Amino acid sequence: MRTYSGHSTPKASNELYRQNLAKGQTGLSVAFDLPTQTGYDSDHALARGEVGRTGVPIGHLGDMRQLFDGIALGQMNTSMTINATAAWLFALYIAVAEEQGARPADLRGTTQNDIMKEYLSRGTYIFPPGPSLRLIADTVLYSVEHVPEWNPINICSYHLQEAGATPEQEVAYALSTAIAVLDTVRERGIAQANFDQVFGRISFFVNSSIRFVEEVCKERAFARLWDRLGRERYGVQDPKLRRLRYGVQVNSLGLTEAQPENNIARIVLETLGVTLSKSARCRALQLPAWNEALGLPRPWDQQLSLRIQQILAFETDLLEHEDLFDGSKVVEQRTSAIAEAAWAEVEAVLKRGGGVQAVESGYIKEQLVSSNAARVAAIERNEQIVVGVNRFVESAPSPLTTDGGADVILRVDPEAEREQVARLEAWRKSRDADAVGRAIEALVAAARGGENLMPASIAAAKAGVTTGEGADALRQVFGGYRAPTGVAGARTPSVDTTELEALRGKVAELARRLGRRPKILVGKPGLDGHSNGAEQIALRARDAGFEVVYEGIRVTPQQLARAAADEGVHLVGLSVLSGAHLELVREVMVRMKERGLEEVPVVAGGIIPETDAEELRRSGVKAVYTPKDFQITRILEDLVGYVEAAHAAA
């Protein structure tokens, strides 16, 4: 039982961890900020506004030391949600543990290290898929030898469901990643006995949605397929090593901004899906906070999530029984159906050359974007009921969210970023520059040479190399990457409702008046990689008759302003979910003004509290859309109005 946490600075996070441990939490789950996740130092241009926001910034050994100050790593179980820079953070962790006197063999915990899903969902990748797979294999092989109790990779299907995956797709694509990793490890040359251990060490991080009976079946199907894969493809003999080990974060996608208290019921039901069935029960569980759709949860919100788990484990009789579903016809039927469909999709991926190729070609992303488009359309058409959103929307005044929710979320202290940058500057001055230079050279050489990167990373961590410098060294060798957005190839459900038809008419009429089709730029400034919203807007706008320029994630405000100018767009829509919306949206507008684009209307979307929305509108943003604005067609109707007004004024 743990809560995913970390924020502001290493010092503030350290205090939070100590409090949580005192409340009965049994391990730590570290959330890192986006610059750390994407390999930038806190003072990098792309890091602006993002430092300490989604998690703790760890820029160097000193930060890691402070994060675990007074926490004995030799006795702790630490889960680190880190991917593209997993090898680096693992190296920093080992270095700090050694300073504390712990041996690597004593260390227990997990690095998420599933870079494949980053290309499909979270977007915090750095390098192309090939080198990313190598980094994964390096950490896997290193830990098998030196840190045997560590889970070097935690393959996430969680984020696939957040990106719209059906249960079948969720299982299939997670297995495809596992196959890519295992095949790579095997090709690197490893004894079968060691390989069996690697197989047994692989764990998964799964999602659980509100359809909890289906979730029960999905986990059973998943366990079945994992066992089969171990047996058939990899010849793992020991059935214990073929057991599916998985942790869960229950679904955030289904949590609503409207009537957020309803989310407590959703979280409990979603938890049942992964705990009811003893033969496919999760080994670790973390729950989101009820107010996630409003902003960053406070410690009190996280405490509530922890208490839900404690009630389930200690008050109910859930853990007293054998499996409840063995022998159930209904469950067996649904389980088999999911297993069959998922396996067929695994084979489809293998036929395309495997997980890496299916990511590079955009195939998997297109499947996910298509599924999500279907889901979004079903909610819009009221075919999929979401209580408080498209049905039963009336509500008595809420005592919880009197101020549009702005009063029930955590605010990141804007001073934290400055403090962190100052710390970084001091760190750079205090270290031995020659040793740092040599360590970076050694890291580059290791990357070029193909040897395991972990020893050079640990040496670099000890020498005082920063997170940004370490990532840059690898960028030099591996190059950067841009994942396919999947948007152009995605299928959209035929949402040819009268509403959309009417909108098309309006867009065509607007086109006639403008002399060309209305053209919009959909942009994701900053480091946030959650692109579901932007993708769905882009797709529907195309279907409504707009010309849409969408360049994917991680674009700087300067680049967006330049693209808006070069492309001659009529409107700019910005999507930010990291919480850095105030800084980023304003920055884009300043840059647009510099280019004489102050007349081009700007709208923003994201998890934006009402008070911030008001501030944005005051600085000239035409409209702010949040998760409660689920009717995309209506949003697009607004856009027609803004373009029309701007045209009339010109």
Partner 1 sequence: MKGSPEEIAEQVVRGDPAAVAGAISLVEDRRPSATARIVALLHALGPAARREQCQRVGITGPPGAGKSSLVSALAALVRASGRSIGVLAVDPSSPRSGGALLGDRTRIEIDPDDTKMYVRSMASGGDLGGLARAAAAAVDVLSAAFDVVLVETTGVGQSETDIEHVADSVVLVIQPASGDTVQFLKAGIIEIPHIFAVNKEDLGDVATRARTELQSALAQSIAGETWRPPIVSTSAKTGKGLAELLDAIDAHHRHLQKHALLGERRSKAAAVMALQLFARRYGEVGVERAGGGPALLARFREWIAAGATAVEAVARASKG
Nearer to partner 1 (CB atom), residue 247 or residue 518:
518
CB distance 369 to 490 below 8 Å: yes
Separation of alpha carbons 340 and 317, rounded Å? 33
Least distance in angstroms from the C-beta of 583 to partner 1:
18
Nearer to partner 1 (CB atom), residue 436 or residue 565:
565
Separation of alpha carbons 77 and 58, rounded Å? 19
Q: How far are the Cα atoms of 29, 31, 453, 577 from residue 582, in angstroms, in the given order?
A: 28, 22, 38, 11
User: x/- contact string, 108-147, with partner 1 (CB under 8 A)?
Assistant: --------------------x-------------------
Separation of alpha carbons 263 and 275, rounded Å? 18
With contacts defined by CB under 8 A, how many residues of the chain interact with partner 1? 44
**Using the rule CB under 8 A, which residue among 46, 488, 582, 646 binds partner 1?**
488
According to DSSP, residue 533 is labeled H
**Using the rule CB under 8 A, which residue among 240, 596, 648, 649 binds partner 1?**
596
Q: Of the listed 218, 462, 519, 530, which one is catalytic?
A: 530
Nearer to partner 1 (CB atom), residue 411 or residue 482:
482
Least distance in angstroms from the C-beta of 562 to partner 1:
4
Torsional sign, CA 355, 361, 364, 365: positive
Separation of alpha carbons 146 and 586, rounded Å? 48
Helix (H) or strand (E) holding 247: strand 246-250
Name the one range near partner 1 by CB under 8 A: 91-99, 250-258, 410-418, 557-565.
557-565
**Using the rule CB under 8 A, which residue among 548, 574, 589, 632 binds partner 1?**
548
Q: Which residues in 163-192 contact partner 1 (CB under 8 A)?
A: none
Nearer to partner 1 (CB atom), residue 456 or residue 549:
549
Name the one range near partner 1 by CB under 8 A: 409-417, 440-448, 561-569, 640-648.
561-569
**Using the rule CB under 8 A, which residue among 549, 574, 580, 616 binds partner 1?**
549
Separation of alpha carbons 392 and 554, rounded Å? 38
Q: Tell me: does residue 292 bind partner 1 (CB under 8 A).
A: no
Nearer to partner 1 (CB atom), residue 413 or residue 567:
567
17 Cβ partners below 8 Å, 6+ apart? Answer: 5, 28, 67, 71
Nearer to partner 1 (CB atom), residue 188 or residue 562:
562
Catalytic (active site) residue 159: yes
Q: Tell me: does residue 517 bind partner 1 (CB under 8 A).
A: yes
Could you write out the DSSP letters of every residue in 463-501? HT--HHHHHHHHHHHH---------TT--------HHHH
**Using the rule CB under 8 A, which residue among 227, 551, 614, 638 binds partner 1?**
551
Q: Tell me: does residue 559 bind partner 1 (CB under 8 A).
A: yes
CA–chain centroid gap for 459, Å, is 29
Q: Which of 3, 589, 76, 60 is nearest to 68 (CA)?
A: 76
Q: Of the listed 4, 125, 234, 625, which one is catalytic?
A: 4
Burial (CB < 10 A; 0-12, 13-18, 19+), residue 332, is: middle
What token pair was written down for 411? 């605010």
Q: Tell me: does residue 418 bind partner 1 (CB under 8 A).
A: no
Pairing of strands 77-81, 108-111: parallel
CB distance 30 to 56 below 8 Å: yes
Q: Which residues in 467-486 contact partner 1 (CB under 8 A)?
A: 482, 484-485
Q: Tell me: does residue 544 bind partner 1 (CB under 8 A).
A: yes
Q: Tell me: does residue 384 bind partner 1 (CB under 8 A).
A: no
Residues 229/232/238/242 CA torsion (nearest 10 deg): 10
* Number of residues that this document lists for the chain: 650
Q: Tell me: does residue 561 bind partner 1 (CB under 8 A).
A: yes
CB distance 60 to 464 below 8 Å: yes
159: phi then psi, degrees, rounded to nearest 5: -70, -20
Least distance in angstroms from the C-beta of 163 to partner 1:
17
Catalytic (active site) residue 17: no
Q: Tell me: does residue 208 bind partner 1 (CB under 8 A).
A: no
Catalytic (active site) residue 117: no
**Using the rule CB under 8 A, which residue among 475, 542, 593, 647 binds partner 1?**
542
Separation of alpha carbons 121 and 485, rounded Å? 10
Catalytic (active site) residue 530: yes
Name the residue with tokens 């075919």.
Answer: 383
Separation of alpha carbons 377 and 203, rounded Å? 33
Within 10 angstroms of residue 227's Cβ, the number of other Cβ atoms is 16
Name the one range near partner 1 by CB under 8 A: 236-244, 365-373, 460-468, 541-549.
541-549
What SS3 state is found at 248? strand
User: x/- contact string, 336-375, with partner 1 (CB under 8 A)?
Assistant: -------------------------x--------------
Q: Tell me: does residue 550 bind partner 1 (CB under 8 A).
A: yes
Separation of alpha carbons 270 and 266, rounded Å? 6
Ramachandran region, residue 6 (left: φ > 0; alpha: ψ -120 to 50; beta: rest) = left
Least distance in angstroms from the C-beta of 444 to partner 1:
18
Catalytic (active site) residue 642: no
Catalytic (active site) residue 625: no
Which residues form the interface with partner 1 (CB under 8 A)? 128, 361, 482, 484-485, 487-488, 504, 507-508, 511-512, 514-517, 519, 538-539, 541-552, 556, 558-559, 561-563, 565-568, 591, 595-596
Catalytic residue set: 4, 158-159, 524, 528, 530
